[in-house]
Amino acid sequence: MVSLYGPDLEHVDFGWPYDYQNTMNKYVLIPLYKYFMEENPGLGVKIPRPSGY
């Protein structure tokens, strides 16, 4: 995944990397959701609840 898209996923130039959607869910979206919606809701960042969480 890193070799395809770079360490910061900067080369994902399309909507959603379906081949890696579980990885994205587990390591990107769920931590994002936890951080912004559960631990720091005061920051005001809205993250939709990821599937599988």
**Positions in 1-53 near another protein (CB under 8 A):** 19-20, 22-23, 25-26, 51-53
Query: Nearest CA to 50 among 16, 8, 19, 11?
Result: 16
What's the CA gap between 14 and 49, in Å, rounded?
21
Closest contact distance (angstroms) between CB of 46 and another protein is 20
- The answer to whether 34 and 27 are in contact (CB under 8 A) is no
Q: Which C-beta is closer to another protein: that of 31 or that of 36?
A: 31
* Site residues, another protein (CB under 8 A): 19-20, 22-23, 25-26, 51-53
